[in-house]
Amino acid sequence: MLAALARPTVGHLDPYFLRVMDEIRAMSRALFGTANELTFPMSGTGSAGMETCLVNLLEPGDRVLVGVNGVFGGRMAEVARRAGAEVTVVEGAWGRALTAEQFRAAATGTYALLCVVHAETSTGARTEIAPLREVAEELGALLLVDCVTSLGGIPVELDAWGVDAAYSGTQKCLSCPPGLSPVSFSARARERLAQRRRPVQSWYLDLSLIASYWGAERAYHHTAPINMLYGLHEALRLVLEEGLAARHARHARNSAALVAGLEALGLELLTPPEERLVPLTSVLVPAGIDEAAVRRFLLQEHDLEIGGGLGSLKGKAWRIGLMGASSTRANVELCLHALASALEAQGRATDRDPLAAAAPVFEA
Amino acid sequence: MLAALARPTVGHLDPYFLRVMDEIRAMSRALFGTANELTFPMSGTGSAGMETCLVNLLEPGDRVLVGVNGVFGGRMAEVARRAGAEVTVVEGAWGRALTAEQFRAAATGTYALLCVVHAETSTGARTEIAPLREVAEELGALLLVDCVTSLGGIPVELDAWGVDAAYSGTQKCLSCPPGLSPVSFSARARERLAQRRRPVQSWYLDLSLIASYWGAERAYHHTAPINMLYGLHEALRLVLEEGLAARHARHARNSAALVAGLEALGLELLTPPEERLVPLTSVLVPAGIDEAAVRRFLLQEHDLEIGGGLGSLKGKAWRIGLMGASSTRANVELCLHALASALEAQGRATDRDPLAAAAPVFEA
């Protein structure tokens, strides 16, 4: 995949490159589960995609309802505030999913936008999106969903769920280097864009300008990050070659095996089973264990990087990602073996062999 | 250089990557001719760098004086307006430089910011920056300069000229794929940032957050586009290996040879000699010549891409870039030979051999 990045840079209106762009759009629609015409990658990382959705769909004074059960929900609220919106936060526990009832309970009156994170990378919780469509209808709101850590790893069905706008990143389950953010907008969202009373505050992220470049007109906006787009094209091709169903099954299987192994080690997970995110698993740090020392041990002895807790989970959790090409049996086994050694090095031995616990899950 | 893009992606807080970041900052300072601590690449193309400077330095209601002698000056004015600023435009002829007197004549009262494009890519005019420092002082303004097509091709001396903020792109004279925008801010500019009354409208481009990641704290903001930064690191290293003085001399020599050849072909240039930009030369399309047919001929017969006129110069000019690694004697000769053939194909023969006219310039 990395080799695709090093293909010769061509002009941003070169016929070869325009074909690459069209194929990226078609493949992105397949991954997002949508027929949305306005589907393409923004020239920035996932946070740029988030800001694109918010600044284009909102105008100063608009009311926004934002689910916050982790870092990225909090970031949506902050970006919406900076766009001049009046934000109502739906507070959820970190590590838990958000429910339609929580949104209903926090809402008062109508809203322009209901925002939610599908897969909270900071905690490992997965919120069901389909039930929020009804809530959005009740509140007169469009539904905006963060799919950064879900796209390519677990099912994403924008059209079936009734999502109006979504963004993702390239460096999670797509296994592409960071630098681009696929976005998608429904017909309803496009109507909202067409009815804006004032220009979008950001020129760089203004969809009405960017869509002209990605659409039939090919109007120059900014120079596209050509080589990053080669990389994304190859990454999307690899996802579809594997097949979405097979890819989701692989992610689910490896994650379940990891969980079986972690439980054999006597470790507790942050999130209840039915709300757990497949590509990212949060483990509670047992009492008496130096969590940073464990991460250092994994990195130095096993060349394995896992995440620490963020925000209110700092020092209290580890975050283990199994995303895209990294979701393999070998990585699960390496992680379980390394974690067992790290805990043993801190005097916490275990009776059960985590690899033996994981094995039947791989073979199921 | 492209091979650097394909180096393995590491974590964005990996010690190896942090060293790459520090070296990028040091090398960027050398290219910009500055000791500015706050010098680093933004995760977006040149237009993202432009927007970064404007949205961080401006607050709603601030007055801004913007020189507009081409597409990119016009874009600065538009971005400033969207940031809520009150914009005064200094109108200049397309293809001509802007002077301190033009800025003085257009100004009324004081301004927060004076904005100017050093190298107008849309026309090939170069505006002298040093004289504008005095104008900025008179108006109480900070001085913001677009260095997209100058950095790495012609001298840029932010500190000697008294520039407060500048941005560039990677795909022009740095010969790096597009996708990043080096920016730099003076102590005065940082003071302005520190005194802001309200948060920057863009979260993605908020310098107070991004500087914490690029600075000693290494605080996570957004995931850095790792592989693009590898590419930029290698591009900056190559620039400094050649040496800035030698690189500028190479660009100047090849551009002068191109001009000698174009004049031998009887072609007229858009910009007077003393205002001409080295890395980009605009040629007026002679009467009776189909300009688009010439560009098609160059692309199809000689695999050579030149630009058409933009904005008010559409259909009236060709833009020939000699930037970074593409500024070579071989490319100048290819271009002159191909252009002579294209004109001949449209029945416009020439008495003089453009390559013979260019030769002594290369050897001077």
Contact B179 A231 (CB under 8 A): no
Alpha-carbon gap: B363 to the closest alpha carbon of chain A (Å): 31
Which amino acid would we find at residue A110? T
**Residue holding tokens 């740090």?**
A285
Structure tokens at B197: 């009354």
Q: Are B179 and A11 in contact (CB under 8 A)?
A: no
pLDDT of B145-160, one tens digit each? 999 999 999 999 999 9
Q: What is the pLDDT of residue B187?
A: 96
Report residue B216's pLDDT band, with 50, 70 and 90 as the boundaries. Answer: low
pLDDT of A54-65, one tens digit each? 999 999 999 999
Delineate the domains of chain B, giving CATH numbers in brackets. 2-242 (3.40.640.10), 244-363 (3.90.1150.10)
Contact A6 B5 (CB under 8 A): yes
User: Which residues in chain B have Cβ-Cβ distances shorter than 8 Å to A231?
Assistant: 227
Structure-model confidence comparison of residues B26 and A214, the more confident one = B26
CA angle B41-B184-B5, nearest 5°?
A: 20
Q: φ, ψ for residue B345 (rounded to 5)?
A: -60, -25
Q: What is the pLDDT of residue B240?
A: 97
User: Which residues in chain A have Cβ-Cβ distances shorter than 8 Å to B174?
Assistant: none
Positive/negative CA dihedral, A291, A297, A302, A304: positive
Mean pLDDT for the stretch of residues B276-291: 96
Q: What is the pLDDT of residue B225?
A: 81
User: Which residues in chain B have Cβ-Cβ distances shorter than 8 Å to A224?
Assistant: 45, 178
Contact B43 A179 (CB under 8 A): yes
pLDDT of A202-254, one tens digit each? 999 999 888 877 776 777 677 778 888 999 999 999 999 999 999 999 999 99
Q: φ, ψ for residue A332 (rounded to 5)?
A: -60, -45
User: Which residues in chain A have Cβ-Cβ distances shorter than 8 Å to B78?
Assistant: 203
Report which of B180, B235, B217, B203 is spatially closest to residue B13, judged by C-alpha positions.
Answer: B217
Q: What contacts B52, CB < 8 A, 6 or more positions away?
A: B42, B44, B167, B181, B183, B202, B205, B207
pLDDT of B107-150, one tens digit each? 999 999 999 999 999 999 999 999 999 999 999 999 999 999 99
CA angle B68-B69-B74, nearest 5°?
A: 40
DSSP string of A132-201, one letter each residue: HHHHHHHHT-EEEEE-TTTTTTS---HHHHT-SEEE--SSSTT---SS-EEEEE-HHHHHHHHT-SS--S
Alpha-carbon gap: A223 to the closest alpha carbon of chain B (Å): 7
Best of A87, A204, A234 to disrupt the B interface (most B CBs within 10 Å) is: A204
Best of B51, B146, B203, B304 to disrupt the A interface (most A CBs within 10 Å) is: B203
Q: φ, ψ for residue A154 (rounded to 5)?
A: -135, 160
Structure tokens at B161: 């000229």
Alpha-carbon gap: A163 to the closest alpha carbon of chain B (Å): 24
Q: Are A146 and A167 in contact (CB under 8 A)?
A: yes
Which of A46-50, A141-145, A242-246, B13-17 has the lowest average pLDDT? B13-17
User: Which residues in chain A have Cβ-Cβ distances shorter than 8 Å to B222?
Assistant: 45-48
Positive/negative CA dihedral, B50, B41, A41, A130: negative
Q: What is the ipTM of this complex?
A: 0.86
User: Which whole-number Å values give the CA distances from A217 to A27, A209, A212, in the listed order?
Assistant: 20, 11, 6
Give the residue ranges of DSSP H helices in B178-243.
187-194, 207-214, 226-242
User: Which residues in chain B have Cβ-Cβ distances shorter than 8 Å to A205?
Assistant: 204
pLDDT of A147-162, one tens digit each? 999 999 999 999 999 9
Q: A227: how many CB neighbours lie within 10 A of its CB?
A: 28
Contact A223 B171 (CB under 8 A): yes
Q: What is the pLDDT of residue A44?
A: 87
**Residue holding tokens 């071989």?**
B330
Structure tokens at B351: 């008495």
Query: Rg of chain A over CA atoms, in angstroms?
Result: 21
CA angle B241-B16-B233, nearest 5°?
A: 30
Q: What is the pLDDT of residue B224?
A: 75
User: Which residues in chain B have Cβ-Cβ distances shorter than 8 Å to A179?
Assistant: 43, 179, 225, 227-228
Structure-model confidence comparison of residues B7 and B27, the more confident one = B27
| pLDDT > 70 fraction of chain B, expressed in percent and rounded | 99
CA dihedral A209, B182, A147, A61 (to 10 degrees): -60
Structure tokens at A192: 């909202």
Q: Are A56 and A200 in contact (CB under 8 A)?
A: yes
d(CA A64, CA A262): 39
Give the residue ranges of DSSP H helices in A2-70.
2-5, 15-32, 46-57
Contact B204 A51 (CB under 8 A): yes
User: Which whole-number Å values give the CA distances from A64 to A9, A77, A94, A98, A189, in the listed order?
Assistant: 41, 8, 21, 16, 15
Best of B1, B2, B5, B213 to disrupt the A interface (most A CBs within 10 Å) is: B5
Contact A226 B78 (CB under 8 A): no
Alpha-carbon gap: A325 to the closest alpha carbon of chain B (Å): 13
Pick from A45, A75, A203: CB nearest B78: A203
User: Which whole-number Å values give the CA distances from B361 to B121, B269, B357, in the listed order?
Assistant: 24, 18, 8
Report which of B126, B132, B124, B115 is spatially closest to residue B50, judged by C-alpha positions.
Answer: B115
Average pLDDT, whole number, for chain A?
94
Which residue from A minimizes the CA distance to B76?
A203
Q: What is the pLDDT of residue A72?
A: 96
E strand map for A157-299:
165-167, 181-185, 280-284
User: Which residues in chain B have Cβ-Cβ distances shorter than 8 Å to A203?
Assistant: 47, 51, 75, 78-79, 82
| pLDDT > 90 fraction of chain A, expressed in percent and rounded | 84
Report which of B78, B33, B20, B53 is spatially closest to residue B210, judged by C-alpha positions.
Answer: B53
User: Which residues in chain A have Cβ-Cβ distances shorter than 8 Å to B197?
Assistant: none
Pick from A179, A203, A205: CB nearest B228: A179
Structure-model confidence comparison of residues A343 and B215, the more confident one = A343
User: Which residues in chain A have Cβ-Cβ distances shorter than 8 Å to B12?
Assistant: 178
Q: What contacts A67, CB < 8 A, 6 or more positions away?
A: A73, A90, A92, A98, A102, A103, A115, A116, A117, A127
Report which of B102, B96, B163, B100 is spatially closest to residue B131, judged by C-alpha positions.
Answer: B100
Contact B204 A9 (CB under 8 A): no
Which of A30-44, A85-99, B206-220 has the lowest average pLDDT? B206-220
Q: What is the pLDDT of residue B69?
A: 97
Pick from B43, B82, B177: CB nearest A9: B177
Q: Is the model's pLDDT at A128 over the cut of 70?
A: yes
Report residue A8's pLDDT band, with 50, 70 and 90 as the boundaries. Answer: confident
d(CA A28, CA A237): 10
Q: Which residues pair with B86 in a beta bridge?
A: B63
Q: Is the model's pLDDT at A1 over the cut of 80?
A: no
Which residue from B minimizes the CA distance to A310?
B220
Q: What is the pLDDT of residue B148?
A: 96
Structure tokens at A195: 């009815």
Q: A151: how many CB neighbours lie within 10 A of its CB?
A: 28
Mean pLDDT for the stretch of residues A111-130: 97
User: Which residues in chain A have Cβ-Cβ distances shorter than 8 Å to B3?
Assistant: 6
Average pLDDT, whole number, for chain B?
94
Mean pLDDT for the stretch of residues A108-136: 97
Q: Is the model's pLDDT at B220 over the cut of 80?
A: no
Q: φ, ψ for residue B88 (rounded to 5)?
A: -105, 125
Which amino acid would we find at residue A108? T
Q: What is the pLDDT of residue A2?
A: 66
Structure tokens at B324: 């970074």
Report which of A262, A30, A339 is spatially closest to residue A39, judged by C-alpha positions.
Answer: A30
Q: Is the model's pLDDT at A276 over the cut of 80?
A: yes
Report residue B8's pLDDT band, with 50, 70 and 90 as the boundaries. Answer: confident
Contact B2 A7 (CB under 8 A): yes
Pick from B9, B202, B226: CB nearest A82: B202
Report residue A327's pLDDT band, with 50, 70 and 90 as the boundaries. Answer: very high
Pick from B5, B203, B221: CB nearest A227: B5
User: Which residues in chain A have Cβ-Cβ distances shorter than 8 Å to B7?
Assistant: 2
Chain centroid offset of residue B15 CA: 32
Contact A5 B227 (CB under 8 A): yes
Which amino acid would we find at residue B98? L
Mean pLDDT for the stretch of residues B286-309: 94
d(CA B106, CA B242): 41
Pick from B51, B178, B201: CB nearest A82: B201
Chain centroid offset of residue B181 CA: 10
Structure tokens at A172: 């999670």
Q: Are B198 and B184 in contact (CB under 8 A)?
A: no
Q: What is the pLDDT of residue B107?
A: 98
Best of B222, B298, B305, B323 to disrupt the A interface (most A CBs within 10 Å) is: B222
Q: Are B88 and B64 in contact (CB under 8 A)?
A: yes
pLDDT of B33-82, one tens digit each? 999 999 999 988 899 999 999 999 999 999 999 999 999 999 999 999 99
Mean pLDDT for the stretch of residues B266-292: 97
